[in-house]
Chains A and B, each alone.
Chain A
Amino acid sequence: MNSRITDRIATGIFYTIAAIMVALLLYLFYFILSNGVPQISWDFLTSPSSAYQAGGGIRDQLFNSFYILFITMIITVPLGVCGGVYMAEYAKPGKITNFIRTCIEMLASLPSIVVGLFGLLIFVNITGWGYTIIGGALALTIFNIPVMVRVTEDAINSVPKELKEASLALGITRWHTIKTVLLPYAFPGILTGAILASGRVFGEAAALLYTAGLSTPTLDYGNWNPLAENSPLNIFRPAETLAVHIWAVNTQGLIPDIREVANGAAAVLVIAVLVFNILARWLGSVIHKKLTASK
């Protein structure tokens, strides 16, 4: 077999693999959307779920998903970015840094059900909060921080050395250089990391089962006082997210329209993730353009 044929075969294999990936994704989308979209209606999106009767919606679950995402990112992004900056700029190469890096990688590979049980112990029982949004968000933070740290570190390390030198040589401190040169340049990479982390938050069920719980109190969307029991903004209330709802309906639902609700919820979840990704990328590119004065 000559090298030209080998080359062709290799190229063919890679194309096939790429095609399989695309086909898989398309089929999944087709399957989820074709089953789910017919179930989606305005009523489905805006009414609370029901326990026994058919015709329940996913209003609260949808809100909870976004709200837990929001709270998680508020905690994860600053901590993760700071951790990444530390690893990229301040940590001296050596045993301690390697140890920290190993810890971060271990944290990232913890099974989410384990993180959920750990959350149950710490954020539910020891704190005495019970099932809460903040407990869920903290559990999600545990396995999203490593992703953010890693992505931030890589993004900062990918900034050309010359740019950092340029800023330091002008008599600018390291911190100001990080703030005004390195972070803006690394922004697209960090944003990608944040989007990846968000996707995991949207889809996560196992870690939330035992931390944010399987129920949602009756909510009054007119009540914006975050301390009120029935306020959607209260972070000390239980909150079932969309992903958890899909799992719960499928495994222990008593409603007659389990299939319909689960399919509809799955479709909404997929669409929400998609829309969120597109919006986040669009916003990111707008901010990046503003920071770098590029067109």
Chain B
Amino acid sequence: MNYTADRPTETETEETILKKAASHKEIVLDVKDLSIFYGSKEAVKRANMGIEKNAVTALIGPSGCGKSTFIRSINRMNDLIPSSRAEGEIIYDGLNILRKDINVVALRAEIGMVFQKPNPFPKSIYNNITHALKYNGQKDKQALDQIVEESLRKAALWDEVKDRLHQSALSLSGGQQQRLCIARTLAMEPQILLLDEPASALDPVSNAKIEELILQLKEDYSIVIVTHNMSQASRVSDKTAFFFNGDIVEYDDTKKIFTNPSETKTEEYISGRFG
């Protein structure tokens, strides 16, 4: 928490003005007292976090600090782990999405997720994108063609694959596969995009392309990204949360976190003293 703006003696620096502007931003996901357990182990401890609309929020921290668990709870992917259990609330669109009676399938269509390892289906590039659309009843060939092109363009992949849409997605390079996975998620027209270390398995060139893409996508989507790469977090994100041992140690504007963090733990981590 930061009280500096309320102090009368403080002059309004550029930074505090920015912070004020940021505080007016709409919150798309409101995480309240979220705790996640695996069996009896508490992987995330009473986390509180307001995730802003049309912004990129980066989650950083050492391995096993709970950031992946946190992001996976936002679209209920943790449901797949039988021993996991969540307490607290994540408010999205006025609803607590952790409630038992939430339609998880519909939720996941609105909150899309891209994983660390590119995981295209062993089908053609075209069918990778239409897979979920067809399930949702879109059968019209023309409409499908159009959505395929649009999503591939949005993911900056169209020019590279437009002549081989019906070849296997596995023939693409790792970076292309990852952009295909992003395109496939975008085709569902999600509101929020969750990226779980999307570039960590890729080479530097592909990595740069993904970062460029994230900055473009921010216009239309709210993005949450888990990353191990500190410079990536500082380049692409507006807000950064630093996780340590299941706690959110600090959550603030990225600029603040990387230049003048309030917590010594944060400073130690971003300066590479541990983790």
Which residues in A have some Cβ–Cβ distance to B below 8 Å? Answer: 92-93, 160, 162-163, 165-173, 176, 180-181, 184-185, 291-295
A292 to B121, CA, bound (A): 8
A169 to B193 CA separation, bound complex (whole angstroms): 11
Q: A171-B105, A171-B107, A172-B132 are in contact. Are A166 and B80 (CB under 8 A)?
A: no
Q: How far is the CA of A45 from the CA of B77 in the complex (A)?
A: 60
Minimum C-beta distance from B156 to chain A (A)? 20
Q: Provide 24 A-B residue pairs closer than 8 Å at the C-beta atoms, listed in order of the A residue.
A: A92-B82, A162-B117, A162-B119, A165-B115, A165-B119, A166-B181, A166-B184, A167-B132, A168-B80, A169-B108, A169-B112, A169-B115, A171-B106, A171-B107, A171-B108, A171-B112, A172-B105, A172-B132, A176-B135, A180-B131, A181-B131, A291-B123, A293-B168, A294-B170
Query: Is A171 within 8 A of B82, CB to CB?
Result: no
The 7 tightest CB contacts between A and B, nearest first, are: A171-B109, A162-B119, A293-B124, A170-B132, A171-B108, A169-B113, A292-B122
Q: How many A-B residue pairs have CB under 8 A?
A: 80
From B75, B121, B170, A167 is in contact (CB under 8 Å) with: B121
**For the complex, is B237 an interface residue (Cβ under 8 Å from A)?**
no
**B 128-156 binary contact with A (CB < 8 Å = 1; else 0):** 00011001100000000000000000000
B127 interface hit (Cβ, 8 Å): yes
Q: Which residues of B contact A (CB under 8 A)?
A: 75, 77, 80, 82, 105-110, 112-113, 115, 117, 119-124, 127, 131-132, 135-136, 166-170, 181, 184-185, 188
Among residues of B, the one whose C-beta sits closest to the C-beta of A177 is B135
Q: How far is the CB of B188 from chain A (nearest CB, A)?
A: 6
Bound form: Cα–Cα A176–B134 in Å: 11
Of A165, A176, A184, A293, the contact of B77 (CB 8 Å cutoff):
A165
Contact A293 to B123, CB < 8 A, known contacts A169-B113, A170-B188, A180-B131: yes
Which A residues are in CB contact (< 8 Å) with B184? 166, 170
CB pair B119 A163 closer than 8 Å:
yes
Give the residue of A166, A180, A185, A295 whose beta carbon is less than 8 angstroms from that of B115: A166
The smallest beta-carbon distance between A262 and chain B, in angstroms, is 47
- Closest residue of A by beta carbon distance from B103: A171
Cα distance A269–B273 in the bound complex, in angstroms: 72
Across the interface, A166 reaches (CB within 8 A) one of B110, B119, B166, namely B119
